[in-house]
Amino acid sequence: MKTIIEPFRIKVVEPIRMTTRPEREQILREAGFNLFLIRAEDVLIDLLTDSGTGAMSSLQWAGMMRGDESYAGAKSWYVLQDKIRELTGFKHILPTHQGRASERILFELVGGPGKVVPNNSHFDTTRANIEHTGAKAVDLVIDEGKQPTLRHPFKGNMDLNKLETLIREVGVEHIPLVMVTVTNNSGGGQPVSLENLRAVRRICTKHKLPFFLDACRFAENAWFIKQREPGQQDRGVREIVHEMFDLADGATISAKKDGIVNIGGLLLLRDAELVRRADELLILTEGFITYGGLAGRDLEAMAQGFEEVVHEDYLQYRIRSTAYLGEKLLAAGVQIVEPPGGHAIYIDAKHFCPHIPPARFPGQALVVGLYRQAGIRSVEIGSVMFGQGGTVPSMELVRLAIPRRVYTQSHVDYVVEAIIELFGQRDQLRPLEIAAEPPSLRHFTARFREL
Ligand code: P61
């Protein structure tokens, strides 16, 4: 069969509501043209993020009822611990309430002034947690990873020469660990090859440096390895996942992505002394070591989510549906970051609105236009997000992130139709200026005026 279907049927539905164009006009004005400031119920199709927005399965909901809410040693904790040990081989597993809590604990322990942490591309919370300790976060993705139209199977790869150069320049004693983000969210949801992970491991071993994964989307990355990397086709995703984790000394994970839950995170460690110190911080700021700021029912849902995410029919559907959206847009002449990533499609807004200069926020103009046209919420990743203080980012992107198991193919077709229609009238997209902004992270709360 040619058609790849959603490998599930729908048992519970949540109505979504279409608004009228005058209503959306009013909503946009009241929110200062910032879609973080509108009510979710006023959105028809919400592609703001794939984080915590997935649909849980019947078995996950059943797990919620089984949840053991004991303060210490809850049964649900052992269910989760066993599942993560089975998938990753890690013995020491710390539960946290989400990815950034794992990052905060880790970098409080290994960061600090004078330290430098390399990554392919740091996600914004990782960078912020590193910099919060006084350390520096450095991005070392391969050059191909920065060119939107260039096709490369593993655009998330770390540049090994740049890594060696950095180690030589700053000195091993200033580098607490080397991190690789799978898939590379900030670089377009692009995967990292097993070969690249093995090479980073070799460099780390040579210099006696710990190697950590930001493993939020580890299963999507493993699927790309199976599809694209020579010699990997006949291996199971579980086996590839296990090898990815075998290479690492630790990992931070937001379970809101490939854990397919609405809240939750993990910190995986090997070093016993680091575990001891991390446990202390966990108890101090998240909760006891067998629940880490989560309810027992959340631990159950996570255990089941991490099981379901490595099912290959799920991954085939997941990665195919993202590519489907990307390919339809490309066929209509809309430039996206190529090839399509795992969890999201990134539209090149400079190409979409050539009449709007970066200083007038082409990405935000497209985000506003898409909501006004069709009630779709997307997010700007360009001058609004990164341009505060005068920086000019190299790309002006709009991200369409796909929640897991939430939207059907006809929802995606609707999104495609809306974007193509808007593309036909793109000269009507309006430049914006900032009316008010906070001192930092302005994308969340800034207000705009249309010009
Ligand atoms: C996202 F606008 N990602 O992509 P937490 N590492 C990686 C992530 O993608 C990630 C985290 C760590 C989000 C949510 C998000 O300003 C923003 O569980 C590769 O969210 O703490 C999260 O995991 C952090 C969106 C986060 C944002 C911060 O949409």
Integer Cα distance of 259 and 308 in angstroms: 8
Query: Do 114 and 303 touch, CB atoms closer than 8 A?
Result: no
Mutate to test the pocket of ligand 1, among 214, 254, 379, 380 (most ligand atoms within 8 A of CB): 254
pLDDT of residue 2: 83
For 141, list phi and psi in degrees, rounded to 5.
Answer: -65, 155
The length of the chain in residues reads 451
Ligand 1 centroid to Cα of residue 345, in Å, is 16
Q: For residue 178, give the H/E element and its range.
A: strand 178-181
The residue type found at 160 is L
Is the beta carbon of 100 within 6 A of some atom in ligand 1? Answer: yes
pLDDT of residue 122: 93
- Cis? peptide before 183, omega within 30° of 0: yes
In the DSSP assignment, the letter for residue 38 is S
Backbone dihedral region for residue 417 (phi beyond 0: left; psi -120 to 50: alpha; all else: beta)? alpha
pLDDT of residue 187: 82
Q: For residue 400, give the H/E element and its range.
A: strand 397-401
Ligand 1 centroid to Cα of residue 100, in Å, is 8
Closest CA to 363 of 339, 378, 382: 382
Provide the residue-wise pLDDT of the chain in tens; the chain has 451 residues.
Answer: 788 899 999 999 999 999 999 999 999 999 999 999 999 999 999 999 999 999 999 999 999 999 999 999 999 999 999 999 999 999 999 999 999 999 999 999 999 999 999 999 999 899 999 999 999 999 999 999 988 899 999 999 999 999 999 999 999 999 999 999 999 998 889 999 999 999 999 999 999 999 999 999 999 999 999 999 999 999 999 999 999 999 999 999 999 999 999 999 999 999 999 999 999 999 999 999 999 999 999 999 999 999 999 999 999 999 999 999 999 999 999 999 999 999 999 999 999 999 999 999 999 999 999 999 999 999 999 999 888 877 788 889 999 999 999 999 999 999 999 999 999 999 999 999 999 999 878 999 999 999 9
Question: DSSP 3-state assignment of 449?
Answer: strand
Structure tokens that stand for 264 in this block: 């939750």
Ligand 1 centroid to Cα of residue 438, in Å, is 20
Is the beta carbon of 126 within 6 A of some atom in ligand 1? Answer: yes
Please list the alpha-helical segments (H only) found in 375-408: 383-386
The residue whose CA is least distant from atom 28 of ligand 1 is: 125
Ligand 1 centroid to Cα of residue 141, in Å, is 19
Is the beta carbon of 183 within 6 A of some atom in ligand 1? Answer: no
Ligand 1 centroid to Cα of residue 20, in Å, is 31
Atom of ligand 1 nearest to the CA of 181: 19
In the DSSP assignment, the letter for residue 44 is S
The residue whose CA is least distant from atom 3 of ligand 1 is: 51
Query: Do 241 and 88 touch, CB atoms closer than 8 A?
Result: yes
Domains in the chain, CATH or no CATH each: 21-50+311-450 (3.90.1150.10), 58-308 (3.40.640.10)
Query: Do 287 and 294 touch, CB atoms closer than 8 A?
Result: yes
Ligand 1 centroid to Cα of residue 254, in Å, is 8
The residue whose CA is least distant from atom 29 of ligand 1 is: 49
Mutate to test the pocket of ligand 1, among 34, 36, 123 (most ligand atoms within 8 A of CB): 123
CB atoms within 10 A of CB 364: 29
Query: Do 145 and 339 touch, CB atoms closer than 8 A?
Result: no
The residue whose CA is least distant from atom 22 of ligand 1 is: 51
Integer Cα distance of 446 and 248 in angstroms: 39
Question: DSSP 3-state assignment of 405?
Answer: coil
Atom of ligand 1 nearest to the CA of 52: 18
DSSP structure string for 280-325 = HHHHHHT--TTTTTS-HHHHHHHHHHHHHTT-HHHHHHHHHHHHHH
Is the beta carbon of 297 within 6 A of some atom in ligand 1? Answer: no
Residue 281: Cβ-neighbour burial (10 angstroms; 0-12, 13-18, 19+): middle
Residues 6+ apart with CB under 8 A from 266: 84, 93, 94, 95, 96, 102, 251, 252, 253, 255, 259
Ligand 1 centroid to Cα of residue 52, in Å, is 10
Mutate to test the pocket of ligand 1, among 125, 186, 252, 397 (most ligand atoms within 8 A of CB): 125
Integer Cα distance of 341 and 64 in angstroms: 31
Ligand 1 centroid to Cα of residue 179, in Å, is 16
Integer Cα distance of 340 and 133 in angstroms: 35
Atom of ligand 1 nearest to the CA of 101: 21
Is the beta carbon of 181 within 6 A of some atom in ligand 1? Answer: yes
Q: What is the pTM of this model?
A: 0.96
Mutate to test the pocket of ligand 1, among 47, 51, 132, 404 (most ligand atoms within 8 A of CB): 51
pLDDT of residue 3: 87
